[in-house]
Amino acid sequence: MKKLMVTALTAAVAGGAFAVMPQVYDYKASVKHMYAKRINVRDMNNTNRNVYQKLVKSASLKGYLVVDSEGATSQTIIADKIANGSTAANGYPATAGIDHGRNRAFLVVQNNSATVPAGVNARSFRTAKILPANIEVNFIDTSYRFGADGRPNATSGLAEGYLYVGGEAVGPVRAKLDSLIAGITSRIATAPTVGPGQPAAPAAGTPGTAGMAMIQDYVWQSCYLFGEYNGPDYEGRNLAAWWQAAQTAIDAGFETDVQIATAVPGWTGTYYFHDTWMNGSGFGKFIRDVSAGTCCGFSGTSATALLNTLSGNLKGGLFLCTYEGLLHTSYTSNGQVITWLNLVQDWEDQWFTPLANPVQDYAGDQDQRDLWQDGFAELNTTDIITGTWSIKRRANNIPVAALTVPEVSRLSGGTVAANAANYTEDADDLEDLVSTLKGCALRLNDQTIFVATTGAAETASRVSTAATRYSVPALTPQFARYYGLGNFR
């Protein structure tokens, strides 16, 4: 839809009139997650020290799940539309990641319980975040009603589904360690024996042998969702280049397309952060709606079968920028070396297979304590989220906000000039999708920066300076490029 039509569209949707729009759901979640606070302890010399203590914190998440029900970010759906008469040019790839078709969704979410940094305005800090998601549902017709054409036409029925929020699954890059009498070694220090009919064993010490997959980041768009300490690690910097080396190794292994490599002024290396993920399942209801929208991968003859509600439980992970027992201190522009309390080395490192000391490394794996294993997934988030979630279809009054040319210019990677008189979409229904994301973000908090149109555009760049550290955008150009939201010209 062209830019000039968005104003009229906003009024139509607000008034309840139907237009071809993405499906939008009200989202709620009540979760508990690990967090940190500063406490005073005494070391072995009876000296008072201020350190970080981990604790469990509650949070209420609120927002919107925006489902790309028209496939505006799907390369296969766009190509099919163009082949069958669409005038979209599709000059920009729809997505660099996995093509989820109409199952691709974006969670626009805000946490009004997030801990706010001292001296920072709460509304400007607790802004909306846009996270990638994928929704899969199954409709169960239990009424056995049939229309004149012989097809089931129940007005409602049961639904079951999964809602995953987070990055893609990619190849892991680290191996797990074991603490032996002889010292620290890789769990697969020598290639295991392979039995008859089994796949070939990995080479000894091959990265990734600790698990089958790893959760990818998505350009830091979840930064600060769970508060001040849910951000990049400044406290660990200059600790024998420990965090930096770990992050660099991880980036090289799996973040080729969403690379985050902006150096902080005053020190070298890539500072450390990993995006939130939440994996949920639930039950609910589907309905049939005369609006004939599409939903959750269904189209064609199933177009009027729409997911109405879904609720259930979730588990997830978030990144906290400090470990238990890390000394709190102040930093000069060049940083300071962190010292660890002797009493903390064992207190903090309570993993099943702990390292001998905080700065020891093995085969370049310098941040072993961040290696979580969740079934088949190797995690880089540091701590746990658990709770409940629900979504309910919003049939009218869908939040929509017109895009500005500078915003589209950033999202398109400069394909659209920042001073252009107008622009067009290269994927059908893309502007409807992106303007809905903007409307939802601003409905949650009108101080949300949808996409930075001046200065640093990426979250990683903004958090590296004092002036913009907590003023992070909901959407970044790299995220738009990766997830197919920048296909404009």
Tokens encoding 161: 């589904």
Residue for token pair 């009603």: 145
Tokens encoding 426: 């290269």
Alpha carbon distances (Å) from 317 to 122, 162, 177, 276, 344 = 24, 17, 21, 6, 24
Q: What is the pLDDT of residue 61?
A: 98
Low-confidence ranges of the chain (pLDDT < 70): 1-20, 43-45, 91-96, 172-212, 233-271, 290-294, 297-303, 323, 325-371
What angle separates helix 430-444 from helix 6-14, to the nearest 10 degrees? Answer: 60
Are the C-beta atoms of 174 and 141 separated by less than 8 Å?
Answer: no
Q: What is the pLDDT of residue 147?
A: 75
pLDDT in tens, 211-258: 567 788 888 899 999 999 998 765 444 443 444 455 555 555 444 444
Q: What is the pLDDT of residue 181?
A: 66
Kindly tell me the burial class for residue 271, based on how many C-beta atoms sit within 10 Å of its own C-beta (0-12, 13-18, 19 or more). Answer: buried
**Helical segments of 56-110, H only:** 75-83
Q: How far apart are CA 455 and CA 305, in angstroms?
A: 45
Q: What is the pLDDT of residue 18?
A: 42
Query: Residue 311: helix, strand or coil by DSSP?
Result: strand
Q: What is the pLDDT of residue 143?
A: 81
Q: How far apart are CA 430 and CA 485, in angstroms?
A: 7
Q: How far apart are CA 435 and CA 430, in angstroms?
A: 8
Residue for token pair 């930096």: 244
pLDDT in tens, 292-302: 566 776 654 55
Q: How far apart are CA 441 and CA 400, in angstroms?
A: 9
Q: What is the pLDDT of residue 394?
A: 93
Q: How many CB atoms lie within 10 A of CB 43?
A: 14
Kindly tell me the burial class for residue 200, based on how many C-beta atoms sit within 10 Å of its own C-beta (0-12, 13-18, 19 or more). Answer: exposed
Judged by phi (left if over 0) then psi (alpha if -120 to 50, else beta), residue 118 lies in: beta
Q: What is the pLDDT of residue 463?
A: 81
Residue for token pair 């080479």: 203
